[in-house]
Chains A and B, each alone.
Chain A
Amino acid sequence: MNEQLSALIDDEVSMDEARHLMSALNSSAEVGETWAQYHLIGDVMRGSSTLRSSFKHDLMQKIEQEPTVLSPNAASMQHEATPALTDEATAVQLPKKIPAYWSVAASLSAVMVVGWMMWQTPVANQNTSMQMASIAPVQPLNTPVQTEVAEIPTEYLAAHQSSAPTASAYFIQTASYSE
């Protein structure tokens, strides 16, 4: 089933042939999860999602605080996880081949992919969530992540001063106009 889903994402199966896949998607929550995860992994591989800049740092802290990620089998799996970074097809099958937490030990980049996937995965999938609890970032999954703004962004200030300047803003430009 997972291979078929992977093929569907890569446009290797026509929609007619995939009709049974679509009904499976609708009927089974687990297949739906896999479908969403494959798409996410694909997005990350293509670079269309942006990782939070502090992601690596937060993740490494989490790993350091959690000794259980160092499974005895991790070392032997390392050579399998690393190629996942460069080969999209391998990456798409990553969750099937190896338990995701082994890749934490394997390489940071692989961890980032899986961590990102977990971060985006709804809490419904309890089995994986328990395995992955050690590397999931602290953000609660269902609340929107917000960025605190500490200073006035110059792009808005410049737009404001251009359309509604004060008498001194014609001559004193607090927004930086350098390009």
Chain B
Amino acid sequence: MRIILVLLFAFIAQHGFAAEDDEAAWQMLQKSAVAAHALSYQGIFVCNSGKQSRSVEIKHMFDGQNEYSRNVVLDGAPREVLSQDGNLVIYNPKNEKIVIEKRRGHNMFPAVLPKNLDRIKANYRLKMGGIERVAGRDAQVLLLTPKDQLRYQHHFWVDTEFGLILKSVILNHQNEAIDQIGFSQLNLFNTLNLDWFKPKIDANKDYVMEEENATDVDTSLSPHWMLKDLPAGYRKVEQMVRKVRGKDFPVTHVVFSDGLASVSLFIEPLAKDVKPKTGASSVGNTNFYSRASGFLQVTSVGEVPAATAASIANAVVFVK
């Protein structure tokens, strides 16, 4: 009897500590989600996605009210991304021109996490790993594992002093790193001047604005389709009508997210003399699925497992 009691206490103690550990890990992740916005830092990070790799120089400043950041790609074409409170201006070299694109950005490294982690908590578990060194700094490893097969695993290396995410890796179901971003050099700074917050202008190039009205927010409900049985944890976060290259008609574009991963769903009418396209394919960490539903061509694309891309495309029900 005494032995059983001891074992029982041991069991409770272990699980009690484990729960506390998880809670500490979530708190650390929460701190890192805020730190990426609230600190001023500069450095160089390296992105690896698929077979491609780019070094990026970043300077991020928070003046107590507004956030500014400038990201310059150091390899290949000198792409620049300037961000002010999530409003991005991208200077994108295309052939002999620089195309200026405006976007919203919510997940630029190291601010890859939303400030509210509730959605992520609902779909993933978090565990502490060991302490490792990244960019000359000590980092706590946090292991974010999905509760099901519908999303990938994420590992984060969080600076033990500043709380910044120093490195972020996405692993597929075979435990292979499919996407990786990490600092190779990082410093904090506390000056407030903004003379660095401008793109480097190349006097020999033409600067042109990207075509306007490429997208329009769409709040209408189509009478011709509805969504049924979305994969668990994925919710619609945005719906728009957009121009897609090579298409005569505007295409409905719906974005789904589980808090970390995003999937795009494209819905368009199937023209009479156009054959429906069906198929699935995978490039790097991106999966693609295409099918016809009634008189609609449905296409999904996202950095999610193939089953998730398929079930989002299959969620579209054609209504006559």
A contacts, CB < 8 Å to B: 49-50, 144-160, 162-172, 174, 177-179
* Contact among B101, B245, B255, B288 with A152 in the assembled complex (CB-CB below 8 Å): B288
- A146 and B277 within 8 A (CB): yes
Docked-complex contact B264 and A155, CB < 8 angstroms: no
B244/A159 in contact, CB under 8 A: yes
The 5 closest A-B pairs by CB, nearest first: A149-B279, A164-B262, A160-B264, A168-B47, A168-B49
A158 and B49 contact, Cβ closer than 8 Å, known pairs A149-B290, A168-B181, A171-B73 = no
Q: Given A155-B246, A167-B181, A170-B81, check contact A177 B94 (CB 8 Å).
A: yes
**Beta-carbon contact of A148 and B253 below 8 Å:** no
Q: Which of B21-57 contact A (CB under 8 A)?
A: 47-50, 52-54, 56
Interface stretch among B12-20, B107-115, B185-193? B107-115
Collect the chain A residues with CB atoms within 8 Å of residue B242's CB. 159, 163
**In the complex, A50→B263 CA distance in Å?**
33
> B266 an interface residue at 8 Å Cβ cutoff?
yes
Q: Which A residues are in CB contact (< 8 Å) with B219?
A: none
Q: Establish whether residues B278 and A174, one from each chain, have CB atoms under 8 Å apart when the complex forms.
A: no
Within 8 A of A (CB), among B87-125: 88, 90, 92, 94-95, 101, 103, 105, 107-109, 112
State A170–B257 Cα separation when bound (angstroms).
18
Q: Bound complex: CA of A98 vs CA of B292, how far in Å?
A: 40
A168 and B94 form a contact (CB under 8 A): no
- The segment from B2-10, B60-68, B199-207, B297-305 found at the interface with A is B297-305
Q: B84 to chain A: which residues have CB within 8 Å?
A: none
**Nearest residue in A to B83 (C-beta to C-beta)?**
A170
- B-side residues, CB < 8 A to A, are 47-50, 52-54, 56, 71, 73, 79, 81, 88, 90, 92, 94-95, 101, 103, 105, 107-109, 112, 168, 179-181, 214-215, 238, 240, 242, 244-247, 251, 253, 255, 257, 262-264, 266, 273, 275-281, 283-286, 288, 290, 292, 299, 301-303
Chain B neighbourhood of A50, CB < 8 A: 273
Asked if B283 contacts A152 (CB within 8 A), the reply is: yes
Among A150, A159, A163, A177, which residue has its beta carbon within 8 angstroms of that of B92?
Answer: A177
B275-A166 in contact (CB<8A) = no
Contact A167 B283 (CB under 8 A): no
Partner of B54, one of A157, A172, A179: A172
In whole angstroms, what is the CA distance A17 to B47 when docked?
73
Closest to A159 in B: B244
Contact partners of B180 in chain A: CB under 8 A: 168
Q: Measured between alpha carbons, how far is A145 from B71 in the docked complex, in Å?
A: 47
**Beta-carbon contact of B81 and A174 below 8 Å:** no
Nearest residue in A to B280 (C-beta to C-beta)?
Answer: A149
Contact A164 B278 (CB under 8 A): no
The listed residue with most B CB atoms (<10 A of its CB), out of A153, A165, A171, is: A171
Q: CA of A19 to CA of B292 in the docked complex: distance in angstroms?
A: 39
Chain A residues with CB below 8 A from B108, complex form: 167, 170
A158 to chain B, nearest CB (A): 7
Judge whether B52 and A156 touch: CB under 8 Å: no
Q: CB distance A159 to B281 under 8 Å?
A: no
User: A163 and B303: CB pair below 8 A?
Assistant: no
Bound complex: CA of A30 vs CA of B164, how far in Å?
Answer: 77
A-B contact pairs, 10 of them (CB 8 A): A144-B276, A147-B276, A153-B299, A155-B244, A157-B288, A167-B107, A170-B105, A171-B73, A172-B49, A179-B95
B288 CB, nearest partner CB in chain A, Å: 4
- Which residues does chain B contribute within 8 Å of A172, judged by CB atoms? 47, 49-50, 52-54
Determine the distance from Cα of A168 to Cα of B180 in the docked complex, in whole angstroms.
8
Closest beta carbon of chain A to B72's beta carbon, Å: 10
